[in-house]
A = this chain, B = another copy of it.
Amino acid sequence: MIAGDCMITVRVDVGGLVEGARKGQARSVARLISLVEDGHPALREVMAALAPYTGRAAVIGLTGAPGVGKSTTTSALVAVYRRLGRRVGVLAVDPSSPFSGGALLGDRVRMHEHAVDPDVFIRSMATRGHLGGLAVSTPQALRVLDAAGFDVVLIETVGVGQSEVEVAALADTTVVLLAPGMGDGIQAAKAGILEVGDVFVVNKADRDGAAATGRDLRHMIMLVEREPEAWRPPVVKAVASEGIGIDDVVTALEEHRAWLLADDGRRLDERRRRRAAGEIEAIALAGVRRRIAGLPPGRNVSDLAETVAAARLDPYAAADQLLAALGQAPPP
């Protein structure tokens, strides 16, 4: 008999899972990503075991407003990459993505083609909050796919909130999708996309206004100040639902990759160092936040907050006390 409040931690065979993933076993890959998502105690062991095999995959981020056709484009890109013989991993961080269940039938059918292909691995990730931010565990899930030997990893994320900036920080190459007539005011308000995009795709290019959207976009891209040797983002037209223009998108992606790899790959190295720095700092700050959450009454945030809310202490002095308490607290 097992007591009701007894927690059972199943011992995980990390070595076996990593070996299985390296051999291309989808089940091992899926299990490793689940460990990552669950924040399983074996997570550190997993990451240490994966580290030597990372850094090989081409990481491509796809972002855009809801309705521009991100999932359809992702699906079409998977098909082209498979034709080129590449193994492809997909992380869909998008609550409205057909990968995550909220599907249009046509997309579902297209996805099913890939679902039976052993060289394609598709995984939807839970988002953080309502606004479609990247899942906290996305960088680690990416490490799993990278170490498992996928040549290309596509990260699809809905372009609301800050997710396009987050995905750009994670990807080697960022694709920004637009569609004609999607409310230019709102798209323009998010001028941030002009700086994060390495390749722009005007999808649904068979619709009215596609030429104008492409022209406006080219104009706005030109207005962004760039260094003389900087990459000039191309604008590609596509109708992803019919596979039209997707080869051109892949060509643009390969050109960007060649640019990253030129000069002994210093540009790619630079991007990856920046990505690693962000990852390390995020993990460290999450650790600090966990320690803050674990402080005992009398020294914790909620007691300090009560004193501040009662106007008996200012928040800076309270933050000092919090950090002091952290210094005295035993490590987690």
Which residues on A are within 8 Å of B, measured CB to CB? 43-44, 47-48, 50-55, 65-67, 96, 129-133, 139-140, 143, 158, 160-162, 165, 182-183, 185-186, 189-192, 195, 269, 272-277, 279-281, 283-285, 287-289, 292, 301-302, 304-306, 308-319, 322-323, 326-327
- In the bound complex, CA of A311 to CA of B44 (Å): 15
Other than the given A55-B310, A160-B160, 4 more pairs (CB < 8 A) read A47-B316, A161-B161, A183-B183, A273-B306
Q: When A55-B309, A195-B130, A309-B272 are in contact, do A292 and B281 touch as well, CB less than 8 Å?
A: yes
| Known contacts A273-B306, A309-B269, A323-B284; is-contact A67 B315 (Cβ 8 Å) | no
B292 engages A284 (CB within 8 Å) = yes
Contacts of A304 in B (CB 8 A): 276-277, 280
Determine if A281 and B301 form an interchain contact, defined as CB atoms under 8 angstroms apart. yes
> Dominant SS at the A interface?
helix
B305 touches A276 (CB 8 A): yes
Q: Distance (Å) between the CB of A30 and the closest chain B CB? A: 20
Q: Which of B48, B160, B273 contacts A316 (CB 8 A)?
A: B48
Considering only CB atoms, which chain B residue lies closest to A66 in the complex?
A: B189
Do residues A52 and B311 form an inter-chain contact, with CB atoms below 8 A?
Answer: yes
